[in-house]
């Protein structure tokens, strides 16, 4: 017999029918440009909700600007963003 008070409602977690959920980006931590033979590829290090800084992932800057333009609106230096975020930890 289960305890109904221990059941977590899926509406709060926003789990889809296929048992997946969408991660929400919180902040850009760093930026880098890799030089290949014929082009340059810009990447950003993204902090996701419900993850630690150590679990941040590198994503293509072009794709992130398309999907999450609000992260790039400040136009400020990513070092300042990183320092202000880390000081809150």
Give how many domains the chain has, as a whole number. Answer: 1
Average pLDDT, integer, range 24-48:
94
Per-residue pLDDT of 40-77, as tens digits, reads: 999 999 999 878 889 999 999 999 999 999 888 865 54
pLDDT, position 38: 96
Residue 5 forms part of a structural domain: no
Domain that holds residue 78: 31-89
Contact 68, 50 (CB under 8 A): no
Per-residue pLDDT of 6-19, as tens digits, reads: 776 655 567 778 87
pLDDT, position 3: 83
pLDDT, position 74: 66
pTM above the 0.75 mark? no
Cα distance between residue 67 and residue 73, in whole Å? 13
């Amino acid at each position: 017999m289960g305890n109904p008070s221990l059941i977590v409602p899926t509406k709060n977690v926003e789990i889809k029918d296929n048992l997946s959920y969408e991660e929400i980006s919180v902040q850009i931590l760093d930026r880098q440009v890799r030089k290949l033979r014929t082009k340059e590829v810009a990447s950003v290090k993204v902090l996701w909700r419900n993850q630690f800084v150590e679990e941040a992932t590198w994503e293509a800057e072009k794709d992130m600007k398309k999907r999450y333009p609000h992260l790039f609106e400040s136009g400020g230096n990513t070092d300042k963003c990183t320092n202000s975020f880390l000081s809150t930890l």
